[in-house]
Structure 1
Amino acid sequence: MAETRKLNGRYRLLNSLGTSVRLAFDEAEHRDVAVREVWVLPELRDAAVSEARRAMALRHPLAVPVLDVLVDGGRPWLVMEFVAGVSLEQTVRGAGPLPTAQAARMGVCVLSALTAAHEAGIVHGRVDPGKVLLTTTGRALLTGYGAPSLSVLPSADLWSLAATLHFAVEGRPPGQVAPAGPGPLKSLIRAMLHPSGTPPLNVVRETLHRLAVDRPLDALLAASGPLPPARVAAIGLGVLDGLAPGWFHGGVQPGNVVVDADGRARLLPLARMGTLLAYTAPEAAPTHAADLWSLGATLFTAVQGRPPAPGTPLGGAGPLGPVLLRLLSRDPSQRPVIDDLRRELLAVAGRPV
């Protein structure tokens, strides 16, 4: 028979909600709550209770709040708001890995909750797929605050977020094998899991936000095939806005270019240096001119459906053809400067110069 005793004379225990979590009814507030027993050594109980009560101050729309902390039968218990949702772990194990956009939206939500907690001096310490709840409204909520964090650093939460994202897109924990493939989300996950440390927080945040709503150019091409020259020129203008004279990006390629629903393109910040061979300039130098060659190779792929190769004709490129030839010159000095390139792309795109 299921246990029906009350905690602290108030919370009547009901059925299990998962590992160590129970549904309970709060008889004082007449509401359902979730309760979790905290397993901790007796000598650490007071410290664990104190840390859990600090977590009660955290209020964020994407963090499941801790409502009460109590000691019953000599053991600490956390009382949390009850949220109707299915854990990421259950979802992936039942239906398989998430699509990139859904996984990125989950990452945006969890990162927002973690950032707010870190700013308040609170570390989660146990981020994993079982503590991410996916709701019917499309939000992801992070639960599990209030458990002892074992004095871990905020950077550990970000590594755990990367491992959780890895599980979301691969269906397994990272282990010894990082996610394969050139996609920007997998590239970001690899960078976040790298022993050298997480990329800058603004890079992580912007990449997740973009992938949550926009489509990578390589995915767009895989779905629709080559694009018309005018549209490719418009994409080139968006990428060009992410480049600046004298500054080397080092990752201009279709997987790092995202396109929104209105056709606007944007070059993602680079989590870690690296360009696929097909989009690496022949001189392989970290220069602005090399980025322009990579831009030319990216636009070539967008209009032709395949990366450039020696002797490949430019059929179907139309007025974009001469622009691509200059961008793909083996002589860096023959590639156009940004202002001239922008005017040429504007003309091909049919926009006022």
Structure 2
Amino acid sequence: MGETGKLAGRYRLLNPLGAGSVRLAFDEAGHRDVAVRQLRVPAELRDAALDEARRAGRLRHPLIVRVLDVVVEDGTPWLVMEFVSGASLEQTVRSRHPLPVAQAARVGVCLLSALTAAHEAGIVHGRVDPGNVLLTPTGRAVLTGFGFPSLSMLPSADLWSLAATLHFAIEGRPPGQVPAEGPDPLRSLVRAMLHPSGPPPLEVVHETLERLAVDRPLDTVIEASGPLPPADVAALGLAVLDRLQAGGEFHGGVQPGNILISPAGQATLIPLLRTGTLPAYTAPEAAHTLTADLWSLGATLFTAIEGSPPAPGASLTRAGALAPVLFRLLSGNPLERPTPDELRRELLTITSERV
């Protein structure tokens, strides 16, 4: 077969796509562009690889590049895939710059959705990396590379590779032995997913990525817009208190970086992702109790209303009616802090002042 030949008498080979081994082709029977790639495997694995490629062809998901056909030409197997317009995540980051957190989180949402569908169908990708992620002009991230042997990998291997891909997206480099530090939720999530003990529960990964795709951490909101009004801070406190009580156990990570603010101003406390509480938000008794979480909540509300965390001798100049509540929450004696029910009543009184 020549450089301008056909596969299976219908797929006319055209130009290479990017710097990889994928080529554009035209399907003369289906009257459409397709992408083709040679399936390079040892001869003893070829039959198993073809079976796996055909199984991948049964996957149907809007964020998965479909395997349309599996062709053997002159003894060489080829994958015929759906053509998707877009640049790979690897090309995008290397030619421009790492992605903003919200965009990287949207990529994560797309990839996790694609992988979940594949795993539910009993298929492990095995090759999740920045070169197999296509960023489309419409803002979707589409996963390609299905149909190659996964070498009996487990689904957890795909989740580790997803984390490494997100690390590349925000840092411009693979994680290596030392993933990037940083208290922000996305980097915390990536580090947790790369941890040798295994990733957090899938629902935690999914919720965190979905919220980061549209919401902003409280510390980022404060940095960009300044301290919040007392009634807004009280409403934030109520939302976090609801989450703490619903959890029913010690959270250990109540701090501005773990509280996400939606475009409508609603606050959500995300699960702790193995990073612990920053010193400025750690209760003095360092106990694993709800009372210690309430101290951390007080320090967080102090930051939201004053613009910086509490410190010895720090004064409350903007707190207004919230000041007595913060003084009690930040007491060094756990017995002097309000109970959750008392705190709820006090915060509800202050939120009633919102216009």
Using the size of structure 1 for normalisation, the TM-score is 0.97
Deviations 1:116-157 (A, max 9, x none): 100000000000001111111111111111111111110000
* 3-state SS of paired residue (1:70): strand
Deviations 1:42-74 (A, max 9, x none): 111111000000001110111111100111122
Residue 294 of structure 2 corresponds to 292
Q: Is the 8 A contact 2:188 2:275 kept in 1?
A: no
Residue 51 of structure 1 corresponds to 52
- Which sits farther off after the overlay, 200-209 or 218-227? 218-227
Counterparts of 2:314 and 2:61, CA distance in 1: 54
* 3-state SS of paired residue (1:292): helix
Deviations 1:298-344 (A, max 9, x none): 11001111111111111111111111111111111111111111111
The match for 2:318 among 287, 300, 316 is: 316
Counterparts of 1:36 and 1:342, CA distance in 2: 60
Counterparts of 2:158 and 2:48, CA distance in 1: 20
Measured after TM superposition, the shift of residue 351 of structure 1 is 6.0
Residue 110 of structure 1 corresponds to 111
For the pair 1:194 / 2:176, whether they are aligned, the reply is no
Counterparts of 1:271 and 1:321, CA distance in 2: 31
Counterparts of 1:227 and 1:247, CA distance in 2: 28
Residue 16 of structure 2 corresponds to 16
For the pair 1:250 / 2:255, whether they are aligned, the reply is no
The match for 1:263 among 251, 265, 270 is: 265
Residue 342 of structure 2 corresponds to 340
- Which sits farther off after the overlay, 160-169 or 90-99? 90-99
Q: Is the 8 A contact 1:203 1:270 kept in 2?
A: no
Q: Is the 8 A contact 1:123 1:149 kept in 2?
A: yes
Counterparts of 1:29 and 1:273, CA distance in 2: 52
Number of residue equivalences: 351
Measured after TM superposition, the shift of residue 75 of structure 1 is 1.6
- Whichever residue aligns with residue 340 of structure 1, its letter is E
Counterparts of 1:166 and 1:225, CA distance in 2: 29
Backbone CA RMSD of aligned residues:
1.3
- Which sits farther off after the overlay, 265-274 or 324-333? 265-274
Q: Which runs of 5+ in 1 are unaligned?
A: none
Deviations 1:56-110 (A, max 9, x none): 1110111111100111122211111000111111111111111111000000000
For the pair 1:305 / 2:307, whether they are aligned, the reply is yes
The match for 1:326 among 325, 328, 331 is: 328
- Whichever residue aligns with residue 290 of structure 1, its letter is A
Deviations 1:23-51 (A, max 9, x none): 00001101000111111001111110000
Residue 121 of structure 2 corresponds to 120
- Whichever residue aligns with residue 64 of structure 2, its letter is A
For the pair 1:100 / 2:101, whether they are aligned, the reply is yes
Q: Is the 8 A contact 2:231 2:353 kept in 1?
A: no
Deviations 1:146-183 (A, max 9, x none): 11111111000000000000000001000122111100
Using the size of structure 2 for normalisation, the TM-score is 0.97
Q: How does 1:180-259 map to 2 (within 5 A)?
A: 180-244=181-245, 247-259=249-261
Measured after TM superposition, the shift of residue 15 of structure 1 is 0.6
Counterparts of 2:221 and 2:138, CA distance in 1: 26
Q: Which runs of 5+ in 2 are unaligned?
A: none
Q: Matched residues, percent identical?
A: 73
* 3-state SS of paired residue (1:345): helix
